[in-house]
Amino acid sequence: MNKTETLELLQQIKDGSVSPEEALNRLTLAPFTQVGDYATLDMHRELRQGQKEVIYGEGKTKEQILGIVKAMRKEGWQNILITRLSPQKADYLKQYTALFYDDLSRIGIAAKTELPQVGNITIVTAGTSDLPAAKEAYYTACALGNRTTLISDVGVAGIHRLLNHLPKLQKANVIIAAAGMEGALASAVGGLVDCPVIALPTSVGYGASFQGLAALLAMLNSCASGVSVVNIDNGFGAGYLAGMINQAIEKGHPAD
């Protein structure tokens, strides 16, 4: 609830059109919904943040996930993202609700609808093995209404493969660079373009990759400007942030 809305509400109390008790309720109770004893849905996130809440599937029972999806659908939500959703839980959900499911990235989308897709997000991966995280980013960005392209297997060990895609890269509003192992792709891309690069470290590798730590550290230390980093394998986070930037650019300068 922003300043203007708050002032308006207070004015309504003064006018008598809203009672103080009701106002208190609106100030504190409205923006979320209790689901069972395990979840507190943030129903105002769409207004406050422009996007809907996502369900992190790991560590929740299939019944809890279904409960949350039902509560969201009741509010009329669509394109409900469920990340880290195991095939078993996906099968369970499909019995009760329409569900798109990609088993490489283990992402599910309930109540999927086609949104008009705007702008230009490009996702590049260093190798084929980075696809699970990259596809999580891809489906997230698509579901949130962003035009998105995925280019795979163009890592720095054969830098000319990347250079070949340079024209495409230079037209993007924002780029996601997904890489495990030494994570050098983010720096290489960052040095070639003038748009924001979201570095998505993946857990691909072995030994001293320490489940993605090597790629993460490399990306944090990128000598290229315009690069920022999300958590290891956090394809959702990369796709969400890319969408946020892409749509802001498409909308252009907000009126002050």
Contact between residue 177 and residue 185 where contact means Cβ atoms under 8 Å apart: yes
**The tokens 């207070």 sit on which residue?**
10
How many residues form the binding site for its own copies (CB under 8 A)?
Answer: 130
* Kind and range of the H or E run holding 247: helix 235-251
195 burial class (0-12, 13-18, 19+ CB within 10 angstroms)?
Answer: buried
Q: Which is nearer to its own copies, 114 or 256 (CB)?
A: 256
**The tokens 């369900």 sit on which residue?**
55
Give the nearest distance from C-beta 99 to its own copies in angstroms. 19
Interface residue with its own copies, options 146, 155, 177, 178 (CB under 8 A): 155
Give the nearest distance from C-beta 169 to its own copies in angstroms. 10
Alpha helices in 29-177 (DSSP H): 45-49, 62-74, 87-94, 131-143, 159-164, 166-170
Give the nearest distance from C-beta 124 to its own copies in angstroms. 10
How many DSSP H helices and E strands does the chain contain? 11, 11
Binding flag, residue 28, its own copies (CB under 8 A): yes
Q: Which is nearer to its own copies, 37 or 114 (CB)?
A: 37
Give the nearest distance from C-beta 162 to its own copies in angstroms. 9
User: Which residues on adjacent β-strands are paired with residue 197?
Assistant: 175, 227
Q: Which residues, numbered 124-143, are part of the site for its own copies (CB under 8 A)?
A: 126-132
Q: Which residues, numbered 180-239, are part of the site for its own copies (CB under 8 A)?
A: 180-184, 186-188, 190-196, 198, 201, 203-234, 236-238
Interface residue with its own copies, options 54, 72, 107, 137 (CB under 8 A): 54
Contact map string, positions 56 to 75, toward its own copies, x by CB under 8 A: x-xxx---x---x-------
Binding flag, residue 111, its own copies (CB under 8 A): no
User: Which residues on adjacent β-strands are paired with residue 200?
Assistant: 178
